[in-house]
Amino acid sequence: MSTLLSLRHVHAYYGAAHILHDLSLQVNAGERVALIGRNGVGKTTVVNTVLGIAQMKGGELWLGADQLARPRPYHAAQHGIAVVPQGRRIVANLTVEENLLLGGAVGRKGPWTVSEIYKLFPILQERAHTPGTALSGGQQQMLAVGRALMTNPDLLLLDEPTEGLAPVIVDQLADIFNHVAEQGTALLLIEQNMNLVVRVAYRYLAMAKGTVVNQGEVSNTQQSLEDLQSHVVI
């Protein structure tokens, strides 16, 4: 099975602040992996290391078959890795449709087009010509997911995609993530909502203090839910 993303013994920093310590993780084609852990353990820093926003000073980063010593944000997109960032970051003065087309600008071929995204999220079609930031929080998250899918990724990195959203929207997004995974896109789902994790992921990695301290399988069962919650209790 091909490896889409691999961090091997990575150390990462913001300036002098040493955040990731000897962290290793790997996501293979078609996998559904959850990355869990309490606030501040370094989950977003994993994403920022892949994008080159946090500075990697030791270890190895592999995107597919390529090892990158100095990653830049466009490298991920070129290697079929799309990011839905924490906090969504919709471009303010673009419409919904323009935000989607921005994702398509990477130019990778694949099944996802504006009309396929509209089938997935009909509300985005209804609001196609409104400014992206005029949408509700849930709709902005749908737009962020749609924009990432427009790059036709092999791997989708989702950084706390349901943070602050109503349960009904979380349910909708869970169905969408499962649908996307069934189409063959691998998922790395950063989440604190373990109900969502058991519905979507098949494997988990638990972080503490900037490294992976636990890992195992996930199933959609009460036992699995309790196991996961034990890794994130405050």
Ligand X SMILES: Nc1ncnc2c1ncn2[C@@H]1O[C@H](COP(=O)(O)OP(=O)(O)OP(=O)(O)O)[C@@H](O)[C@H]1O
Phi, psi values for residue 21, rounded to 5°: -120, 105
- Picking from 171, 164, 178, the residue whose alpha carbon sits closest to that of residue 136 is 164
From the CB of 163, what's the least distance to ligand X, in Å? 8
Residues 60 and 68: their CA atoms lie apart, in Å, by 7
Of 65-104, binders to Mg ion (CB under 5 A) are: 86
Residues 77 and 65: their CA atoms lie apart, in Å, by 14
Q: Single out the residue of 2, 14, 184, 226 in contact with ligand X (rule: CB under 6 A).
A: 14
Lay out the site mask for Mg ion across 20-59 (x = CB under 5 A, - = otherwise).
-----------------------xx---------------
From the CB of 93, what's the least distance to ligand X, in Å? 25
Of 28-47, binders to ligand X (CB under 6 A) are: 37, 39-45
Q: Which does 17 bind (CB under 5 to 8 A by kind): Mg ion, ligand X, none?
A: ligand X
Q: Which one, 14 or 219, has the nearer CB to ligand X?
A: 14
Q: Which does 133 bind (CB under 5 to 8 A by kind): ligand X, Mg ion, none?
A: none
Phi-psi domain of 206 (left: phi exceeds 0; alpha: psi -120 through 50; beta: other): beta
What separation in angstroms does the CA of 223 have from each of 57, 195, 230? 39, 12, 11
CB 13 within 8 A of CB 55: yes
Q: Which residues bind Mg ion (CB under 5 A)?
A: 43-44, 86
